[in-house]
Chains A and B, each alone.
Chain A
Amino acid sequence: MTTRWTRKDLLGLRELTADEINFVLETTDAFKQIGTREIKKVPALRGKTLVNFFVEPSTRTRTSFELAAFRLSADVINISATTSSLTKGETLKDTARNLEALQADIIVLRHSSAGAPQFLANRLKASVINAGDGAHEHPTQALLDLYTIRERRGKIAGLHVAIIGDILFSRVARSNIFGLLKLGARVTLVGPSTLVPRDFEKLGAEISYKIEDVLPNADVVNLLRIQHERQRREYFPGLGEYIRLFGLTKQRAKLLKPDCLIMHPGPINRGVEIDSEVADGQQSVILDQVTNGLAVRMAVLYLCGGIAS
């Protein structure tokens, strides 16, 4: 392994090389091992200040970053949209410059606008970690998905990964597509044609509108939540029809190969994109993803935080 990490920011997987992605995954191995110790804390970021700046609501990702930072001994502050001065009309730029004036070393940003982390990264000396920007990228989610696949299957190249659900509005889908393709996987996107537009083929993915055709030859199925609260009605006729056409029901799960992994970035809608028994079944690695997410985020904070200093 000759790759060294040279980036102060993690903005997306599209800009990373396969070597860089693999380097993060290998670094994650070491941090995962720390989680099995009695004392789950290392001094890697002692004296550093991390700001969890979540302009859009999140529980899972914010908690995961917070815990990762604690385990690296960083000092952490959390700022959400409602507690920030953005509600008083302050611009993102000014809020961020104030955080930097307070000598924040790492800013973890969740934002509803695509490109917001890059906007900050271009303007700040601090590390900027993208914790999800609009429908653009969610790099740490894709890295933990890659890590989980690699852990369970020993490799990523040559595997066939189906990503099922709302692809159009999904930053998880985009980051996964970029990462999986760079590491040599085959990616098939499945979902209603309104939420899986044909332009995604230009990204190198395949598209199918028939889940039954895809399930039997998938090595991994990654189910995305149908974000029905965010979507305008015209995108699909309703949840009932979605379940009928695309839900991973008990019946459909029988089509899967026995060693096919079932993944979901959460939060899951039981009975919609996935049946309860399938989500809790032998093939599900949904909770491993959460555990691995912590280790991946420790690796990312460690790598980027090391560059910024």
Chain B
Amino acid sequence: MTSIIIRNGRVIDPRNERDELADVCIVDGRITESAPQNAEVIEAKGLIVAPGLIDMHVHLREPGFSHKETIESGARAAAAGGFTTIVCMPNTAPVPDNPGTIAWIKDRASAIACVNVLPTGAISKNLAGEELAPIGSLAQAGVVAITDDGHCIQNHEVMRRAVEYARMVALPVLDHCQDYNLVGNGVVHEGYCSTLLGLPGWPAAGEEAIVMRNILLAELCDHHIHCQHISTAGSVRFLREARARGVKISGEVCPHHIALTDDAIQNFDTNYKVNPPLRSQADVDALLEGIADGTLSILCSDHAPHADFEKEVEFDAAPFGIIGLETELGLFLDLLVHKHRTIDIARLIEMYTVEPARLLKIDVGTLSVGAQADVTLIDPELEWTVRVDQFRSTSRNSPFDGWKLKGRAVWTIVGGKTVWKL
């Protein structure tokens, strides 16, 4: 029997509306009322003791692209970022559009990953947007959601049937919102910078058209659609209006979309190339308002690893994506809690625990007695500098190298086991 007492921390457990100085006890991988005398003591004075954080949008690249990231390295990066549960996207090779690939991912994760790895299944076969994947079988194989992330189903009828079908098996639908006709070969936000640099523009309307489509289909099918990596003011406005009417729609936000604007592209550094692209200051302001009023309810990274040799090419030719697992908590604490005072730290933790757990109907993200002992200790005041060469991730494609941030995770516990500490 192993036991731990985390002493004197500020326990923030939004599910149980707790925010108090207290001890948290762990016995045999579960949260308990008390712990035996000989328990290991973790001194948490000055720290926040939070339920293990969930990042519901990461790319682990395995199977198929293990030169970018593996389930093992991605999980270690997650642990170092304070995450105990991560949800991996289906744009792998093979695509998890079948129960066999889901079983492989789950087996691999349980064998080698130091955090909980929850797979998503594809909506459409081979992410082609044409025929439905066997969504019922994927549900039985244990996916927590379906998504074609990285791709977007263009045919509204196919999407409608997918949402209707997913309702039957109670799986939320996650959507990467991109209208292929409007976006074309766009690589940066369409606006001043794309005009200045002569780079093909990716207009805000290319995201907003699909967000609106999803609102209509969520209403039509009476089922939840979650819009991934929201980046524009218009999307926030549509989501706000729809949520006020009770439509089953939600949105998430990534740190790069509030930390940076398209101004950063001016040196053609491909570490700033991400999909959807970095937007204007007005969009950043709207995202912050959306976070403040609850329109955007979930924080995530869209951790998208790519190898140096893939990113170190012409801007047009480089793949989209930024890695985020090891910087997202620091960026959000620094920007949302300290700098802009958009939300308080309890809400930030809620957006990383209760909100994704509720959407995905997963039994994590709380410090309730009896729950699996996933715990993240956070030092909200710790000042630190991002060093990409110290990342656990296999990849280095981050534009935040050298950034000085305030606040980070310092200790990560999964199932009662320390998986990382600073």
Residues of A within 8 A of B (CB): 14, 91-93, 111-116, 118-119, 133-137, 171, 174, 197, 199-200, 202-203, 232
Q: Which of B8-23 contact A (CB under 8 A)?
A: none
- B315 near A91 (CB under 8 angstroms)? no
Answer yes or no: B197 CB below 8 A from chain A CBs: yes
In the complex, chain A residues whose CB is within 8 Å of the CB of B104: none
Is the CB of B313 closer than 8 A to any CB of chain A? yes
- 26 sampled A-B residue pairs with Cβ under 8 A: A91-B312, A91-B313, A92-B313, A92-B314, A93-B313, A113-B314, A113-B315, A113-B317, A114-B197, A114-B198, A114-B268, A115-B197, A115-B314, A118-B267, A119-B315, A134-B199, A134-B316, A135-B198, A135-B199, A135-B200, A137-B198, A171-B198, A199-B191, A199-B192, A199-B195, A200-B195
CA distance A92 to B317 in the complex (A): 11
Which secondary structure characterizes the binding site on chain B?
loop
A287 to B28: give the CA distance in the assembly, Å: 85
Contacts of B309 in A (CB 8 A): 91
Chain B residues within an 8 Å CB radius of A119: 268, 313-315
Q: Which residues in A have their C-beta under 8 angstroms from that of B190?
A: 199
Residues of A close to B314: CB separation below 8 A: 92, 111, 113, 115-116, 119
**Within 8 Å CB of A112, what residues of B?**
316
Give the contacting residue for A114; candidates B191, B192, B312, B316; CB below 8 A: B316
CB contacts (< 8 Å) of B267 on chain A: these are 118
Partner of A93, one of B192, B194, B195, B312: B312
Q: Which residues of A contact B316 (CB under 8 A)?
A: 112-114, 134
Q: Name B198-226 residues within 8 Å CB distance of A.
A: 198-200
Q: List the 9 shortest-distance A-B pairs measured between CB atoms, nearest first.
A: A115-B268, A135-B198, A113-B314, A136-B198, A199-B195, A113-B316, A114-B198, A115-B315, A202-B192
Q: How far is the CA of A60 from the CA of B165 in the complex (A)?
A: 59
Q: How many A-B pairs with Cβ below 8 Å? A: 59
Chain A: which residue is nearest B317 at the CB level? A113
Residues of A within 8 A of B313 (CB): 91-93, 119
Contact B195–A134 (Cβ < 8 Å): no
> What is the CB-to-nearest-CB distance from A177 to chain B, in angstroms, rounded to a whole number?
10
A197-B195 Cα distance, complex, nearest whole Å: 9
Which B residues have a C-beta under 8 Å from some C-beta of A? Answer: 184, 190-192, 194-200, 267-268, 309, 312-317
Would B198 and A134 count as touching, CB distance under 8 A?
Answer: yes
Known: A115-B199, A137-B198, A174-B198. 9 other contacts (CB 8 A): A92-B313, A113-B316, A115-B268, A119-B314, A136-B197, A199-B191, A199-B194, A203-B196, A232-B184
Contacts of A115 in B (CB 8 A): 197, 199, 268, 314-315
A202's nearest neighbour on chain B, judged by CB, is B192
Q: In the assembled complex, which residues on chain A have CB atoms less than 8 Å from the CB atom of B196?
A: 14, 174, 203
Smallest CB gap from B314: residue in A: A113
Between B192, B312, B315, the greatest number of chain A beta carbons within 10 A of the residue's beta carbon is seen for: B315
Judging by beta carbons under 8 Å apart, are B199 and A203 in contact?
no
**Cα–Cα distance between A232 and B192 once the two chains are bound (Å):** 22
A111 to B314, CA, bound (A): 9
Contacts of B197 in A (CB 8 A): 114-115, 136
Given contacts A93-B312, A93-B313, A118-B268, contact A136 B195 (CB under 8 A): no
Residues of A within 8 A of B184 (CB): 232
